[in-house]
Structure 1
């Protein structure tokens, strides 16, 4: 487990399915995320039970609050390429009561540290919808820089197209 002052990152368990189900079906949380078609609780339970072991190419971890063991969200490093030393990161805090307070910032810092130290990555990238200022603020605070803008490439749940920023963080830039 990766542990900070506020959160620990741990492998997801089948018992996490109910929280994941609530978050997947929360419009406000999902408005800036790419979601698949609606899934039932049973489908999410099965997915949790059948989840593959974390590998270099995909590391998915739950964000757990240290104080009470409550699952707050999910963070992953995906599409890792050892030859290139790069991966992409995704994160969300599903529990609205914890959207502020530094939980996401600490979880992302822990995951990036893991990527650089344990996976020997040189670059961690992410895509973020231009209007998602809350997320962009966290990313900039940790040292991510905006590398470019992809125009109208994300269709939100509002049916409108939105621009996205490509942001990246190089080894040694994490704040």
Structure 2
């Protein structure tokens, strides 16, 4: 397991499926996620069962609090290639009672350190909706820099379009805190 100051990153377990599915039913939690078709808990369980194991190309971790041992989110590094040393980061804090307090920032910092130290990546990138200022601030605290803006490419659940911002982080940029 990979441990930060507030969180532990661990492989997801089948027993996590219901919690993650429940987060997906809350519009406030999913407002900045790509719209997806609704799925039943049984469909979600099947998708989890069919998911490939963690590999260099994609590692998925549950975010668990150190203090309580509570699953509060999911994060991953995906589309990694050893030829480019690049991967994309996604994070989702589903436990609203942990949206403040630095848990997301610590999870991103911990995952990036894993990416640079264990996977030997050179660059970690992510896309964030421009209006999601809380996420952008957390990424900047870790050392991410805004590199580009893609206009009106994210369609929210209410049908409105939003700009997305590409942020990037090199190993030398990481604020290890």
The TM-score bracket by the shorter chain reads over 0.9
Unaligned runs of 5+ in 2: none
Alpha-carbon separation, structure 1, partners of 2:123 and 2:51:
26
**C-alpha displacement of 1:23:** 1.2
Alpha-carbon separation, structure 2, partners of 1:5 and 1:119:
21
User: Cα RMSD (Å) of the superposition?
Assistant: 0.9
The 5-angstrom pairing of residues 80-91 of structure 1 reads 80-91=80-91
Structure 2 length-normalised TM: 0.96
Unaligned runs of 5+ in 1: none
**C-alpha displacement of 1:50:** 2.6
The 5-angstrom pairing of residues 131-170 of structure 1 reads 131-170=131-170
Show structure 1 runs of 4+ deviating over 6 A. none
Deviates more, 1:28-37 or 1:89-98: 28-37
**C-alpha displacement of 1:145:** 0.5
Contact kept in structure 2, 1:24 and 1:35, CA below 8 Å: no
**C-alpha displacement of 1:10:** 0.3
**C-alpha displacement of 1:49:** 2.4
* 3-state SS of 1:25 partner: coil
* 3-state SS of 1:172 partner: helix
* 3-state SS of 1:9 partner: strand
Contact kept in structure 2, 1:154 and 1:163, CA below 8 Å: yes
**C-alpha displacement of 1:51:** 2.4
How many residues align? The count is: 175
**C-alpha displacement of 1:92:** 1.2
**C-alpha displacement of 1:47:** 1.8
* 3-state SS of 2:172 partner: coil
**C-alpha displacement of 1:27:** 0.6
**C-alpha displacement of 1:131:** 0.4
* 3-state SS of 1:146 partner: strand
